[in-house]
Structure 1
Amino acid sequence: MNDPATIRLNYPQAQMLAGDRRYQVLASIKKPNVVALSGVLDGNACQALIELARPRIQRSSVVHHREGVRVDDSRTSSGCHFQRAELPLVADLEQCIAELTGIPQENGEGLQVLRYEPGQRYVPHWDYFPPESASSADIVRPEKGGQRIATFLLYLNTVPMGGETEFPHAGIKVAAVQGNACFFSYCDADGQLDPLTLHSGNAVIEGDKWIAVKWLREGRVPA
């Protein structure tokens, strides 16, 4: 059974609109700015995205503050990227994310689908690029979209045990439940980055975990 602190709250009166659909807000936290949503993608669409990604996945890499992109034991998942609007399902999901967040589709990096097998995890990290890091300077150039400002994470299957998204400095955990999503932003109107958005993908204890991740930036990201 998952940790009882895991967010699975039920507030029927709290909803968000995207196009002609309403999405239930399971939990909303102001500091850090985290919103958990229910039923963003149905089971058939979740499984279809998994099957599209399955033959393409390979060991995940990380952006190291000194050494650039590399494979690292801090992140032991496998994954793949889809180009923006590469497939109808991807395009539909990207449109939904844009409507929910108010961030234009062109500000999003390519959708990434990740698989975590038992024991695999991603240690606590920030999704934004550290401003003090020399390797960040090229990544956040305006012509590349600038700094990351938010993350939209969608759970493609339900994990029987483990696999939560945890914000350790804020005491928040979000369970991996199929079709649900976790959105968090980390850059305010003044451009200040929130260190409370430090988060981890906890180790999968039972089953496996499939997620889709969309990182959103300040400006347009080249296709």
Structure 2
Amino acid sequence: MMELAQPHLNRATVHNKNTGKLENAEYRVSKTAWLDDDMTEDKGRIVRRINRRMEDATELSHDYAELDQVNNYGMAGQYEPHYDMATREEKAFLDHEGGNRVATLLFYMGKTDAGGATVFIDGGVRLPPTQNAAVFWYNLLPNGDPDLLTRHAGCPVLAGTKWVMNKWFHVNDQIFTRPCDLQQFKREKEAKLYNGQYTT
């Protein structure tokens, strides 16, 4: 996936929280490539196989998922604290045909010599970039409200380079794997178990 991404790397963009449009921002320093399963035959076959594995691992439908995003963070590359989903104050993703981003799957594809950890600010979780590891989390509570414990940041790379790939699944078409629940705080007890207590 890193080899497929390299010819397509460009400066990373973010969604403007008011307009929903993509733009460059100083708080995200990296290069990004989007990999489509409609690429040339051999490349597309690789991407489709990876996407099927992601579906199997998460049990989430890929129908409304975004393209695979490969990110390369060089020296001092970082991403300041942010949410992957849209909150009520943000327009981004709320108008997406698949609805809001329900879950994130993040792969660490290369070894980083120093720095580059993923830190969940309010959850007290720090994940060092470990080659061939992955992390998965839900961005939304079962009733569809944003899970505010998922605010996270990519710490600056201090030595070497950091390669990650993420997949964002959207809420539509997940009715059988993650049905809506009217109990807004059903996951509150589960979240508290990890708040400030999860270590790696």
The reply on whether 1:57 has 2:9 as its aligned counterpart is: yes
Q: How far did 1:132 drift?
A: 2.5
CA displacement 1:167-223 (0-9 Å, x = unmatched): 011111111111110111121221121111000011001100011110010125xxx
Unaligned ranges ≥5, structure 1:
1-48
Q: Secondary structure at the match of 1:158?
A: coil
Q: Secondary structure at the match of 2:112?
A: coil
Identical aligned residues as a percent: 27
Q: Which residue of 2 aligns with 1:209?
A: 162
**What amino acid is aligned across from residue 60 of structure 1 in structure 2?**
A
Runs of 4+ in 1 over 3 A off after TM superposition: none
Q: Which residue of 1 aligns with 2:94?
A: 140
Residues 45-84 of structure 1: matches in 2 within 5 Å? 49-67=1-19, 68-84=21-37
Q: How far did 1:85 drift?
A: 5.7
Residues 26-175 of structure 1: matches in 2 within 5 Å? 49-67=1-19, 68-84=21-37, 86=39, 87-133=44-90, 135-136=91-92, 139-141=93-95, 144-175=97-128
Contact kept? 2:86, 2:146, Cα under 8 Å: no
Stretch deviating more after TM superposition (182-191 or 207-216): 182-191
For the aligned residues, what is the CA RMSD?
A: 1.5
Contact kept? 2:87, 2:146, Cα under 8 Å: no
- Please, what TM-score do these two structures have when normalized by structure 1? 0.71
Of residues 121, 136, 143, the one that matches 1:183 is 136
CA displacement 1:4-33 (0-9 Å, x = unmatched): xxxxxxxxxxxxxxxxxxxxxxxxxxxxxx
Stretch deviating more after TM superposition (103-112 or 195-204): 103-112
Q: How far did 1:83 drift?
A: 1.8
Q: Secondary structure at the match of 1:105?
A: coil
CA displacement 1:124-147 (0-9 Å, x = unmatched): 0000012233x33xx3236x1001
CA distance in structure 1 between the aligned counterparts of 2:165 and 2:112, rounded to whole angstroms: 14
Contact kept? 2:65, 2:167, Cα under 8 Å: yes
Contact kept? 2:108, 2:130, Cα under 8 Å: yes
Unaligned ranges ≥5, structure 2:
174-200
Contact kept? 2:37, 2:45, Cα under 8 Å: no
**What amino acid is aligned across from residue 205 of structure 1 in structure 2?**
L
CA distance in structure 2 between the aligned counterparts of 1:192 and 1:131, rounded to whole angstroms: 9
Q: How far did 1:120 drift?
A: 0.9
Q: How far did 1:156 drift?
A: 0.8
CA displacement 1:63-104 (0-9 Å, x = unmatched): 121243210001010011012464122111111111111101
**What amino acid is aligned across from residue 103 of structure 1 in structure 2?**
L
Stretch deviating more after TM superposition (191-200 or 84-93): 84-93
- Please, what TM-score do these two structures have when normalized by structure 2? 0.79
